[in-house]
């Protein structure tokens, strides 16, 4: 179906829905690189005005990637809640925006509509929203998950402790973990990006994390971020896997480039669930996403990178994950050029994920060749805290020495909790107080050289 909109006697034509959505997307370098972005600012506005008038039912009748050609499209259509959709079936994209910003759209109702929304509907409405709209609407969404603690409760803000080391030196990793714990980080997960995907190597790291968590009775979960096939192999060997990790994308071809498909993810989900290692719940998956992954894999199918990203959330939510994070600035300036584009993309990712029922966190990050700096990250961190983001990633000094990019530090999680009066996950907060790491108000306490955690490493 073709679309058109007239501005000042000039009529813009858009051949189909995916073209209209791409042209309506706020400017980003990845869409320009893919050749799908609007040619002018006026064309972008015309596309946004045209998109605002599109009925939500159109998204059920016109797939951006054909049903027959893509298993993610089939997943989206086959799991769509048509009964709940009746509540919003009369809306256009513009009417959906207005409704999301109204008091009528409250937390309970948005939770009921998670499967009435398709990723394309939510991606479309995000394209006509200002940054403050994305924050206000996302703030209403509460997506709560459980494993050994409870993540995503309103008024809580968690952190993934990322103790990466360029050679996976056990003592270096342990030192970073203790450092993070003493700065009250690690309630989302203690997650290591290993330097190698060797099963034997990952096995050693999993046992190291398991021993540490058990020794100090830490109410958190571990993850070694290896390929899902390695995790499946290690589970068969009896390895202590808490969360199974995998990067996922929004097209079947993208996931094929990652060496995965929905069947393989289901196998990993079933295997991890069979271990029964959860205490407060059974959310056993950890997914990572990010705008631009489909384009970098030459698998975007002519769809803009933000819509591809929203489609990856349909994959994630199907497996009831404990946590999901977008590595928003990690992919570099070819896809998100500067701090402004990174900030906009992060707010879009968080909004779209929460609307679809995904427990979204964020790696507040940038690469060293992007037009961004730590002030941009400070601004983004605060915006995400206000928007109700479930967690961020923290590394020592905000500098990941294994992956060579700039993220947030352990101090940054403390800052946003202090600035916005947020707390860690409740089980983790009690553990921090029991071990005299924070006081009842969440303030960090001085750490004595005799602290038990320090004795573990030194």
Binding residues: 160-162, 193-194, 246, 288, 296, 363, 402
Residues annotated within the binding site for adenosylcob(III)alamin are 194, 246, 296, 402
Q: What's the Cα-to-Cα distance from 11 to each of 111, 174, 265, 396, rounded to whole Å? A: 39, 62, 45, 53
Q: Where are the beta strands (DSSP E) in 142-297?
A: 145-146, 150-151, 158-161, 189-192, 222-224, 244-247, 285-289
CB-CB contact of 395 with 190 (8 Å): no
* Residue where the block lists tokens 């400070």: 378
Helix, strand, or coil here: 408?
strand
Tokens of 275: 């271990």
Binding site feature residues for substrate? 160-162, 193, 288, 363
Beta strand 222-224 with 189-192 is parallel
In DSSP terms, 11 is beta-bridged to 6
Using an 8 Å Cβ cutoff, are 190 and 455 in contact? Answer: no
First to last CA, the chain: 66
CA–CA distances in Å: residue 202 to residues 227, 230, 233, 403:
10, 8, 11, 17
Contact 180, 163 (CB under 8 A): yes
* Element containing residue 252 per DSSP (H, E): helix 252-257
- Among the listed residues 254, 221, 275, 277, the one whose alpha carbon sits nearest the alpha carbon of residue 428: 221
Instruction: Give yes or no for a contact between 258 and 226, defined as CB atoms under 8 angstroms apart.
Output: no
Beta strand pairing status for 222-224 and 244-247?
unpaired
- Spatial distance between the Cα atoms of 45 and 152, rounded to a whole number of angstroms: 35
Residue 94: Cβ-neighbour burial (10 angstroms; 0-12, 13-18, 19+): middle
Residue at token pair 């409704």:
99
CB count within 10 Å of CB 198 equals 13
Helix (H, G, I), strand (E, B) or coil at 436: coil
- 128, 51 in Cβ contact below 8 A? yes
Q: Among 171, 172, 212, which residue's Cα sits nearest to residue 190?
A: 212
Whether residue 262 contacts residue 131, with contact meaning beta carbons closer than 8 Å, is answered with no
CA-nearest of 17, 119, 21 to 75 is 119
Sign of the C-alpha dihedral, residues 248, 254, 258, 263? positive
């Amino acid at each position: 179906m073709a679309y058109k909109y007239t501005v000042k006697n000039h009529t813009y034509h858009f051949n189909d829905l995916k073209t209209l959505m791409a042209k309506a997307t706020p400017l980003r370098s990845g869409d320009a690189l893919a050749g799908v972005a609007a040619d002018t600012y006026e064309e972008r506005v015309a596309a946004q005005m045209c998109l605002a008038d599109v009925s939500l039912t159109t998204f059920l009748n016109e797939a951006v990637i054909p049903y027959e050609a893509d298993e993610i499209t089939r997943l989206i259509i086959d799991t769509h809640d048509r009964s709940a959709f009746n509540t919003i079936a009369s809306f256009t994209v513009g009417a959906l925006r207005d409704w999301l910003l109204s008091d009528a759209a409250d937390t309970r109702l948005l939770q009921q509509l998670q499967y009435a929304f398709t990723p394309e509907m939510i991606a479309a409405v995000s394209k006509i929203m200002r940054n403050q709209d994305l924050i206000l609407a996302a703030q209403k969404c509460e997506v709560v998950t459980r494993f050994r603690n409870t993540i995503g409760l309103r008024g809580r803000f968690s952190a993934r402790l990322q103790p990466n080391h360029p050679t996976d030196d056990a003592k270096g990793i342990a030192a970073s973990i203790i450092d993070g714990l003493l700065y009250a980080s690690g309630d989302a997960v203690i997650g290591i990006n290993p330097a190698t995907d060797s099963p034997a190597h990952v096995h050693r790291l999993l046992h190291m994390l398991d021993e540490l968590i058990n020794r100090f009775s830490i109410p958190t979960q571990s993850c070694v971020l290896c390929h899902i096939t390695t995790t499946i192999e290690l589970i068969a060997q009896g390895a202590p896997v808490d969360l199974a990790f995998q990067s996922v994308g929004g097209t079947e071809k993208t996931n094929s480039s990652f060496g995965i498909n929905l069947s393989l993810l289901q196998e990993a989900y079933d295997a991890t669930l069979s271990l029964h290692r959860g205490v407060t719940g059974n959310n056993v998956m950890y997914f990572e996403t990010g705008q631009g992954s489909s384009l970098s894999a030459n698998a975007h199918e002519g769809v803009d990178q933000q819509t591809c990203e929203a489609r990856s959330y349909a994959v994630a939510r199907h497996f009831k994950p404990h946590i999901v994070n977008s590595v928003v600035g990690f992919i570099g300036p070819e896809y998100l050029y500067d701090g402004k584009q990174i900030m906009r993309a992060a707010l879009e990712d968080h909004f779209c994920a929460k609307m679809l029922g995904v427990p979204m966190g964020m790696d507040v990050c940038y690469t060293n060749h992007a037009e961004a700096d730590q002030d941009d990250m400070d601004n983004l961190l605060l915006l995400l805290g206000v928007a109700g983001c479930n967690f961020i990633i923290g590394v020592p000094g905000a500098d990941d020495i294994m992956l060579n990019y700039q993220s947030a530090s352990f101090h940054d999680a403390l800052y946003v909790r202090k600035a916005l009066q947020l707390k860690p996950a409740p089980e983790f907060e009690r553990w921090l107080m029991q071990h005299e790491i924070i006081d009842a108000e969440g303030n960090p306490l001085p750490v004595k050289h005799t602290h038990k955690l320090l004795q573990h490493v030194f």
